[in-house]
Amino acid sequence: MARPKAQTAALMASPDDTEAQFYEALQRGDLERLMAVWADDDEVVCVHPGGPRVVGLVAIRASFEALFGNGGVPVRPEGVRRLHTLGCAVHHLAERVSVVTNEGPRTAWALATNVYVKTTQGWRMVAHHASPGTLGEPPPATGEAPSTLH
Amino acid sequence: MARPKAQTAALMASPDDTEAQFYEALQRGDLERLMAVWADDDEVVCVHPGGPRVVGLVAIRASFEALFGNGGVPVRPEGVRRLHTLGCAVHHLAERVSVVTNEGPRTAWALATNVYVKTTQGWRMVAHHASPGTLGEPPPATGEAPSTLH
């Protein structure tokens, strides 16, 4: 870990804190900071858009190390919807990714579900499931509740 | 709901019970039974493979009603991995789907993350995120833990 556990926990006092650290670490390509958000559990899972299931901290670390081979990922969470229980939080959101295509810079979208659990070390991520979205327009959230895409 | 609440809760005494009911209802195209597994929360979310975010019970019901227009879905969960905390369970798995192509019957795969929370009505689903997998070979789960794909 890049920082002492107590300091890390202080930074992850809520699911939103943990999620903010996850996306900041993704943007910066900061592997240590990114791995610090995960819970210490054999069954933590990460699915990158279009990718396989990656299970456990060792494999998840390797997958992000490969991803960071070209530096950070210009991804921003948008339209976060939150479902919180006493010790568990499910966030779903659209990931806005800036990509360079043959036609110039474009915005791509992925959909992600992030799950956090409360531990003695603060709120930690146990699942990140992202799936391919669209190029161009942001994906709408279908549902009766007001859209929080902005 | 198709059955009294007490009976439904009795059937969903564990996350595995709830998951079994979800996939049985999918296979049978039983909309009432399928909707009975969901928690009563505005932020419950469902992502079908390649689809948008569907948020809330009304929209989720409509999405499955459309899906069941041609009857049940021949889908079976395989390689289930489980992460359980006191009141929350995260299951991730491969969905085996029997599909008919121009070249005859084939097996398609999707990856799914299912999240359950413990309620006074038993364990209920709060998130189902499925993303497109492969046609043919089952998708491997990458990780240090023994694979439970079978």
pLDDT in tens, chain A (150 residues): 455 555 555 678 999 999 999 999 999 999 999 999 999 999 999 999 989 999 999 999 999 999 999 899 999 999 999 999 989 999 999 999 998 888 888 899 999 999 999 999 899 999 999 998 876 666 667 774 444 443
- The answer to whether A55 contacts B141, with C-beta atoms less than 8 Å apart, is yes
pLDDT value of position B22: 98
End-to-end C-alpha distance for chain B, whole angstroms:
35
Strands (E), chain B: 45-47, 53-55, 75-84, 88-101, 104-119, 122-135, 141-143
Count the Cβ atoms, other than its own, within 10 Å of residue B120.
7
Rounded to the nearest angstrom, the minimum Cα separation between B35 and chain A is 15
- Please enumerate in sequence order all residues whose Cβ is within 8 A of that of A33, keeping only pairs 6 or more positions apart, or say none: A2, A21, A24, A25
Rounded to the nearest angstrom, the minimum Cα separation between A20 and chain B is 20
Distances (CA, A) of A143 to A138, B58, B59: 15, 7, 5
pLDDT value of position B147: 42
Q: Which two tokens stand for residue B81?
A: 């991995």
Q: What is the mean pLDDT of chain B?
A: 88
What whole-number distance in Å separates Cα of residue A123 and Cα of residue A78?
20
Do β-strands A122-135 and A104-119 pair in parallel, antiparallel, or remain unpaired?
antiparallel
For A63-79, give the DSSP string: HHHHHGGG----EEEEE
- The answer to whether B94 contacts A53, with C-beta atoms less than 8 Å apart, is yes
Q: Which amino acid is at A68?
A: F
Q: Can you list the pairs that B69-73 forms with residues at least 24 positions away whose Cβ atoms lie under 8 Å?
A: B71/B29, B72/B26, B72/B27, B72/B28, B72/B29, B72/B30, B73/B26, B73/B27, B73/B29, B73/B97
pLDDT-derived band at B83 (thresholds 50, 70, 90) equals very high
For A84, name the nearest residue in chain B, comparing CA atoms only. Answer: B43
- Please enumerate in sequence order all residues whose Cβ is within 8 A of that of B9, keeping only pairs 6 or more positions apart, or say none: B120, B121, B122
pLDDT value of position A147: 42
- Spell out the alpha helix ranges (H) of B4-115: 5-11, 15-28, 31-35, 57-67
- The answer to whether B142 contacts A63, with C-beta atoms less than 8 Å apart, is yes
The neighbouring-strand residues paired with A142 are B54
Spell out which chain A residues touch chain B, with contact meaning CB-CB distance below 8 angstroms: 41-45, 47, 49-50, 52-56, 58-60, 63, 81-83, 85-88, 90, 92, 94, 111, 113, 115, 117, 126-127, 129-132, 139-145
For A82, name the nearest residue in chain B, comparing CA atoms only. Answer: B43
For A105-143, give the DSSP string: EEEEEEEEEEEEEEETTEEEEEEEEEEEEEESSPPPEEE
pTM: 0.88
- The answer to whether B56 contacts A145, with C-beta atoms less than 8 Å apart, is yes
Per-residue pLDDT reduced to its tens digit, B28-37: 999 999 999 9
What whole-number distance in Å separates Cα of residue A92 and Cα of residue A145?
14
pLDDT value of position A11: 76
* H or E stretch covering A81: strand A75-84
> Which of A92-101, A137-146, B91-100, B141-150 is predicted with the least confidence, judged by mean pLDDT?
B141-150
Of B60, B87, B130, the CB nearest to A87: B87
> Which of A27-31, B109-113, B141-145 is predicted with the least confidence, judged by mean pLDDT?
B141-145
What whole-number distance in Å separates Cα of residue A90 and Cα of residue A97?
21
pLDDT value of position B4: 54
What whole-number distance in Å separates Cα of residue B134 and Cα of residue B140?
10
- Please enumerate in sequence order all residues whose Cβ is within 8 A of that of B42, keeping only pairs 6 or more positions apart, or say none: A144, A145, B55, B56
Q: Tell me the ipTM for this assembly.
A: 0.87
pLDDT value of position A130: 96
Of B59, B88, B144, the CB nearest to A144: B59
